[in-house]
Chains A and B, each alone.
Chain A
Amino acid sequence: MAKVLERKPLTLAERTYLPQILSGLKTTFRHLIKKKVTLQYPEERPPISDNYRGIPTLVKDPEGREKCVSCQLCEFVCPPKAIRITPGEIAEDAPTAHVEKAPQEFEIDMLRCIYCNLCQEVCPEEAIFLQDIYSFSGYSREEMVFKKEKLYEIGGTLPDRHFKWEKKRLAAEHGNVH
Chain B
Amino acid sequence: MSDEAKDDGLISVFIDDQEVRTKPGTNIIEVAKSIGLHIPHYCYHEKLSVSGNCRMCLVEMGLPGRDRATGKPMLNPDGSPKIMFFPGPAIACGTNASPNMHIKTKSKMVTDAREGVTEFLLANHPLDCPICDQAGECTLQEQSAEHGKGYSRFIEEKNVKPKRTVLGPRVMLDDERCVLCSRCIRFCQEVAKDDVLGFVERGSYSTLTCYPGKKLENNYSLNTVDICPVGALTSRDFRFKMRVWFLKTSQSIDTETSVGCNTEVWSREGKIYRITPRQNDEVNDCWMPDSGRALYQMVEAENRLQTNLVKGKEASIEVALREASALLADGSVAVVGSGRSSVEEQYLLKRLATALDDAPVSLVNRTGEGDGLLISADRNPNVRGALITDLIDELPKAQLSDLAEGIDSGAVETVLAVNEDLTEAGLTAEQLEKVHLVVIGTHQSATTDAADVVLAGMTVFEKSGTFVNQQFRLQKFEMAVPGPKTAMNDLVLLAALLANQTNEKVVSTVDSVWSELSSEISLLHGLSYASLPPSGQLLDASSYEDLPFVEGETLHYKPVALAST
Asked if B130 contacts A125 (CB within 8 A), the reply is yes
- Looking at the complex, which one of A73, A75, A92, A177 makes contact with B130 (CB distance below 8 Å)? A73
Report the Cα distance A168→B160, complex, angstroms.
8
- State whether A101 and B160 are in contact (beta carbons under 8 Å apart), knowing that A76-B245, A76-B246, A89-B240 are contacts in the complex: no
Instruction: Fill in one digit per residue for A138-178: 1 if any B CB lies within 8 Å of its CB, else 0.
Output: 00000000000000000000000000000010011001111
Q: For the complex, is B129 an interface residue (Cβ under 8 Å from A)?
A: yes
- State whether A101 and B131 are in contact (beta carbons under 8 Å apart), knowing that A72-B246, A92-B164 are contacts in the complex: yes
- Looking at the complex, which one of B160, B201, B207, B243 makes contact with A172 (CB distance below 8 Å)? B160
Asked if B240 contacts A87 (CB within 8 A), the reply is yes
B-side contacts of A89, CB under 8 Å: 239-240
Asked if A176 contacts B160 (CB within 8 A), the reply is yes
B-side contacts of A71, CB under 8 Å: 129-131, 135, 243
Q: For the complex, is B157 an interface residue (Cβ under 8 Å from A)?
A: yes
Instruction: Fill in one digit per residue for A68-97: 1 if any B CB lies within 8 Å of its CB, else 0.
Output: 011111011000000000011100100000
Instruction: Fill in one digit per residue for B115-148: 1 if any A CB lies within 8 Å of its CB, else 0.
Output: 0000000000010011100010000000000000
- State whether A176 and B130 are in contact (beta carbons under 8 Å apart), knowing that A76-B243, A100-B164 are contacts in the complex: no
A-side contacts of B245, CB under 8 Å: 76
Q: For the complex, is B108 an interface residue (Cβ under 8 Å from A)?
A: no
Report the Cα distance A95→B246, complex, angstroms.
30
**CB-CB nearest in chain B for A167:** B157
Distance in angstroms from A10 CB to nearest chain B CB is 75
Q: For the complex, is B241 an interface residue (Cβ under 8 Å from A)?
A: yes
Q: For the complex, is A53 an interface residue (Cβ under 8 Å from B)?
A: no
State which size class the interface on A falls in: 20 to 34
Report the Cα distance A107→B204, complex, angstroms.
42
Q: For the complex, is B163 an interface residue (Cβ under 8 Å from A)?
A: yes
B-side contacts of A73, CB under 8 Å: 130
Asked if A72 contacts B205 (CB within 8 A), the reply is no
- State whether A176 and B158 are in contact (beta carbons under 8 Å apart), knowing that A71-B135, A92-B164 are contacts in the complex: yes
Asked if A171 contacts B163 (CB within 8 A), the reply is no
Q: Give the number of chain B interface residues (Cβ < 8 Å).
A: 23
Asked if B163 contacts A100 (CB within 8 A), the reply is yes
Distance in angstroms from A155 CB to nearest chain B CB is 18
Asked if B242 contacts A171 (CB within 8 A), the reply is no
Asked if B243 contacts A124 (CB within 8 A), the reply is no
A-side contacts of B401, CB under 8 Å: none
- State whether A87 and B160 are in contact (beta carbons under 8 Å apart), knowing that A71-B130, A73-B130, A178-B207 are contacts in the complex: no
Instruction: Fill in one digit per residue for B149-167: 1 if any A CB lies within 8 Å of its CB, else 0.
Output: 0000000011111011000
B-side contacts of A171, CB under 8 Å: 157-158, 160
Q: For the complex, is A99 an interface residue (Cβ under 8 Å from B)?
A: yes
Report the Cα distance A121→B126, complex, angstroms.
22
**CB-CB nearest in chain A for B161:** A178
Residues of chain A at the chain B interface (Cβ within 8 Å): 69-73, 75-76, 87-89, 92, 98-101, 124-125, 168, 171-172, 175-178
Residues of chain B at the chain A interface (Cβ within 8 Å): 126, 129-131, 135, 157-161, 163-164, 201, 204-205, 207, 239-243, 245-246
Q: Which 5 A-B pairs have the closest CB atoms?
A: A71-B130, A101-B131, A176-B160, A172-B160, A72-B243
- The 24 sampled A-B contact pairs (Cβ below 8 Å) are A70-B240, A71-B129, A71-B243, A72-B242, A72-B246, A73-B130, A76-B245, A76-B246, A87-B240, A87-B241, A87-B242, A89-B239, A89-B240, A100-B164, A100-B240, A101-B130, A171-B157, A175-B160, A176-B158, A176-B160, A177-B160, A178-B159, A178-B161, A178-B201
Given contacts A168-B126, A178-B207, list 17 more A-B pairs with CB under 8 A. A69-B130, A71-B129, A71-B131, A71-B135, A72-B242, A75-B246, A87-B241, A87-B242, A88-B240, A89-B240, A99-B131, A100-B163, A100-B164, A101-B130, A171-B160, A175-B157, A178-B161
